[in-house]
């Protein structure tokens, strides 16, 4: 039994001038290399890595943002929803990119098929959202 998720299914959504998700890719593990196949087995952990461009970085080096995630089956039926949660990361060298990741464990009873994952990042200071 295989599950499949394609990178095209990871939504970059509307890209306002100030905030974008770039370098979106599935990885082998949290910090691993790019995953070459989108096929997954029940019990696998799917890691999606990306860069957040245009996020407000405070003078103390912190970046605050919210991240939400939805997973739907091929028919568009929502099977998982993570409401927006506030995240704070420290970026000591400032810059304009923040590497980020999202992950989800594939259920051991998850039926085979195509699934899509939508990630939404919002900058609470500017209200920009991807």
pLDDT, tens digit, for every residue of 16-57?
458 999 999 999 988 889 999 888 899 999 999 999 999 999
Tell me if 119 sits within 8 A of 21, measured CB to CB.
yes
pLDDT, tens digit, for every residue of 91-116?
888 777 899 999 999 999 989 999 99
Q: What is the pTM of this model?
A: 0.81
Residue 10 has pLDDT above 60, yes or no: no
pLDDT, tens digit, for every residue of 60-75?
999 999 999 999 999 9
């Amino acid at each position: 039994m295989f599950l499949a998720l394609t990178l095209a299914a990871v939504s970059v959504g509307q890209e306002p001038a100030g905030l974008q998700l770039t370098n979106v890719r599935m990885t082998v593990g949290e910090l691993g290399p790019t995953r070459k196949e989108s096929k997954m087995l029940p019990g696998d952990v799917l890691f999606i890595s990306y860069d957040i461009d245009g996020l407000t970085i405070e003078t103390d080096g912190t970046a605050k943002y919210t991240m939400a995630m939805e997973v739907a089956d091929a028919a568009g039926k929502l099977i998982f929803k993570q409401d927006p949660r506030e995240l704070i990361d420290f970026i000591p060298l400032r810059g304009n990119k923040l590497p980020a990741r999202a992950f989800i464990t594939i259920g051991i009873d998850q039926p085979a098929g195509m699934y899509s994952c939508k990630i939404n990042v919002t900058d609470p200071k500017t209200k920009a959202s991807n």
